[in-house]
Structure 1
């Protein structure tokens, strides 16, 4: 592969990202601009931005790699990632926007009137963010190494630096413009080469890929562990979306609850259109790139197909376009995650600094605190990405979905729809569900247990999500007397359309 085209593609995406982010800086002046873009983003813009940040390395590269390696049953991943927005539309989108919060910890405090719940929620936002950021950074290093031969750490560090610059410069305003642009770039980057690849396949005369019978079974098995893994992936992806901090924070940027629902509907259409494309790359990979399974490089199938099927200058240019799309995937998703981490950590820094004599004299503003949090928030996942052994991007992202589904999903669903939720119950569910879903990937990566224990640890959502819900409900029932006194007014606020006068109704 001609590395010149790949380097040019990466450079153009980096320059465009920084340029569009600088354009957003012109509109970022207030705290509201930096945190929620002054709640003025239209559904069309916001849905494109959500598509941009949600379609990560796992979507752009990982889905095709999973289909190549394991077959049609891997389609549960994109189906689940898309269906999660339907769950978010039904249960969360509009009430969450009406809460008036900036972040998930804000919502927890508004609903439960508890600083302790806020602190636990803040820690979990950081944990989910770090778990999601690491595969983005690793994927960037893999992509740049594949197309240019550069050391893996170069792509990893480059993405981290660009993301921090964008978030620090303009906050939510800047990354909204960037992510909307990057959704359409990613869609175009997959769509155009696919036409050439399908044409080359039809001219080549090769038959359709012959799928073995186990290709259509749940994870290669008709029952037992395979069936459990299928359902666990479904639970994690269906429910995890509504608990991902970088997804939820985008709904705070809508003008009202109606706009939040319209945004979600458009997102469903955008995601459904996108996920058709990497699936086709995976199917073509079974014909032309089957050797990538044995070598453990299935995540590179999207990038390698043009050179294998077409070759020459045309193949190199198409590969460069795919590289641009992949790099945009890492940048847009990493920007959203970093923004969600910076938002919650920045609020805590500003609040804590206001109590200290030294920083009170200096005057640490909320915006400055957000910028410091953005710069510091990427250091841990950056270090992990550089030092940890690489695992398949789609699998590693599912760990983050399982953690979000076991913690923030119960908090949001019960907090919005059940007035009996208490601070004690919320903390019990967040801690218990978080420990169950958080320890599992650590054991899987560090220890690699076998048998049923390994199966349960590799996909924990099927048991960790019920534990999260059960602990929240049980803890709340045992502490009924501590239900917040203003719960009735809060519930009216969450469920009453904006055009109705809440004060008059309550």
Structure 2
């Protein structure tokens, strides 16, 4: 495609992001504005913003790549991503909003009356956030390199700089407007090309083998029941432990609006997943040569040139590039604002100036990690983040909301045990340290045992220290579940 059109698309998205972000800056004055937008974001706006930040590089590029590689088996990923919000709706969205907290560590400290538990929570929030940001920067690098020929680092640096500036300047209030805009841009940038490509596909002769396009297998990538179950558990509970998702529920006016927001989000992200999956299916017919782990993530960017000749193909690709950069920006900004809130409160005193310094730092650290790592499959990279979140933060959040017997020592032990187990699995699987088929499956998809291990550890340690249950536990839990007047 024309590099000039791709560069123009990227520049337009970046400029629009800055303009919208600085619009929010005009009304961002206090710490509450920066952290939770003063809790004034209404359901439709918040749902658009949540959908904007949740639909990341793994969705915009990676999901179509997975469908290209695995066919309908890859549909387990969008099912898990969407159903995770159903668990949020049922178990934590409204209680978290009613807690009065501004960050996840705030909630843990208030619930357990423990600074130590807060510190452990803050550590895992940072680890999960930075692990999630790195694939966004890698996605930007891939996009810039594929469509413009520029060095990959250009895309990563551009995203890091814009995100750091906008979050530091306007915080949650600014990025709410930015992420809402990005969702609708991404929906357009995927929806229009899918329609155009389907119309074009009707005029291109292709021998379609149903067994190739719709393979009938037992799970993702032909995996067995254990792997499928473990993957779904990671996606379902992992969504509940993502800091940038959870912090947005603190911006709703009350618990009821948090629930309405969640319902709208499920509809919004499901619509996008249908489009992204369709793009992958088109790729299985017209770009099967890209079905390689090294190139699959680029199928969305390269497919228009296969079916649409000349200027039309270049324009459609430019629109996709704009949507891809919106994905990188929206997710990265949501992660940075959630991390900056934690760092500024835990390390720098919680002032406005501290938040802005933290925002720049939280965008810089993952950028440096990006330079030191090699991009893998985007969806699989993000999938590991879901395992860590499901094994560390999610069990403690669920038990903190629903079980009065949770103690600070139990929460800390559970988070550390689950997080370390997930990390060990990554090392064992990544270096191929086990060969037995059962062990390989257990470490490739570890959530089926790391999550129960974390829950069991949390419960057992809490029971062993039951005398340390906070005196105000009953009163605080009542506050979480009592409907607002």
Query: 1:220–1:226: 8 Å Cα contact kept in structure 2?
Result: no
Deviation for aligned residue 1:207: 4.4
Using structure 1 for the length normalisation, give the TM-score: 0.93
Superposed CA deviations along residues 274-328 of structure 1, whole A, max 9, x for unmatched, are 1100111111101111111247200011111110111200000000000000010
Q: Where does residue 322 of structure 2 map in the other structure?
A: 324
Using structure 2 for the length normalisation, give the TM-score: 0.97
Aligned-partner Cα distance in 1 for 2:14–2:392: 35
Superposed CA deviations along residues 371-404 of structure 1, whole A, max 9, x for unmatched, are 1111112333212212212110000101111111
Query: 1:71–1:216: 8 Å Cα contact kept in structure 2?
Result: no
Matches within 5 A, 1:379-398: 379-398=364-383
Q: Where does residue 173 of structure 2 map in the other structure?
A: 173
Superposed CA deviations along residues 65-112 of structure 1, whole A, max 9, x for unmatched, are 001011111111011000000000000000000000010000001100
Aligned-partner Cα distance in 1 for 2:398–2:347: 28
Q: Where does residue 425 of structure 1 map in the other structure?
A: 410
Q: Where does residue 491 of structure 1 map in the other structure?
A: 477
Q: Where does residue 441 of structure 1 map in the other structure?
A: 426
SS at match of 1:296: coil
Query: 1:209–1:286: 8 Å Cα contact kept in structure 2?
Result: no
**In structure 2, do the counterparts of structure 1 residues 380 and 448 end up closer, same or farther at CA, with 3 Å as the change threshold?**
farther
Superposed CA deviations along residues 210-258 of structure 1, whole A, max 9, x for unmatched, are 324855332444xxx6322211110011111111000000000000000
Query: 2:294–2:376: 8 Å Cα contact kept in structure 1?
Result: no
Matches within 5 A, 1:351-430: 351=349, 366-430=351-415
Aligned-partner Cα distance in 2 for 1:255–1:214: 46
Aligned-partner Cα distance in 2 for 1:448–1:307: 42
Deviates more, 1:276-285 or 1:293-302: 293-302
Q: Where does residue 284 of structure 1 map in the other structure?
A: 282
Q: Where does residue 361 of structure 1 map in the other structure?
A: none
**In structure 2, do the counterparts of structure 1 residues 448 and 321 end up closer, same or farther at CA, with 3 Å as the change threshold?**
farther
Aligned-partner Cα distance in 1 for 2:441–2:22: 46
* 2:467 maps to 1:467: no
Aligned-partner Cα distance in 1 for 2:434–2:372: 21
Aligned-partner Cα distance in 1 for 2:141–2:427: 22
Query: 2:206–2:286: 8 Å Cα contact kept in structure 1?
Result: no
Query: 1:306–1:319: 8 Å Cα contact kept in structure 2?
Result: yes
Query: 1:214–1:220: 8 Å Cα contact kept in structure 2?
Result: no
Superposed CA deviations along residues 433-462 of structure 1, whole A, max 9, x for unmatched, are 111113322444456754444433322211
* 2:253 maps to 1:229: no
SS at match of 1:203: coil
Deviation for aligned residue 1:3: 0.4
Aligned-partner Cα distance in 2 for 1:12–1:55: 20
SS at match of 1:156: helix
SS at match of 2:348: helix
Superposed CA deviations along residues 108-149 of structure 1, whole A, max 9, x for unmatched, are 011000000000000000000011011110010001111101
Deviation for aligned residue 1:334: 0.3
Aligned-partner Cα distance in 2 for 1:31–1:403: 29
Aligned-partner Cα distance in 1 for 2:284–2:96: 43
**In structure 2, do the counterparts of structure 1 residues 216 and 340 end up closer, same or farther at CA, with 3 Å as the change threshold?**
same
Superposed CA deviations along residues 194-219 of structure 1, whole A, max 9, x for unmatched, are 11100111112324443248553324
Q: Where does residue 354 of structure 1 map in the other structure?
A: none
Q: Where does residue 258 of structure 1 map in the other structure?
A: 256
* 2:242 maps to 1:244: yes
SS at match of 2:203: helix
SS at match of 1:391: coil
Aligned-partner Cα distance in 1 for 2:366–2:431: 17
Aligned-partner Cα distance in 1 for 2:41–2:435: 48
Q: Where does residue 99 of structure 1 map in the other structure?
A: 99
Query: 1:219–1:227: 8 Å Cα contact kept in structure 2?
Result: no
Aligned-partner Cα distance in 2 for 1:196–1:144: 23
Deviates more, 1:252-261 or 1:440-449: 440-449
Query: 1:93–1:261: 8 Å Cα contact kept in structure 2?
Result: yes
Structure 1: 5+ residue stretches without partners: 352-364, 500-506
Aligned-partner Cα distance in 1 for 2:425–2:355: 31
Q: Where does residue 211 of structure 2 map in the other structure?
A: 211
Q: Where does residue 198 of structure 2 map in the other structure?
A: 198
Query: 1:6–1:148: 8 Å Cα contact kept in structure 2?
Result: yes
Q: Where does residue 113 of structure 1 map in the other structure?
A: 113
**In structure 2, do the counterparts of structure 1 residues 215 and 71 end up closer, same or farther at CA, with 3 Å as the change threshold?**
farther
Query: 1:114–1:423: 8 Å Cα contact kept in structure 2?
Result: yes
* 2:85 maps to 1:85: yes
Aligned-partner Cα distance in 2 for 1:209–1:250: 44
Matches within 5 A, 1:44-59: 44-59=44-59
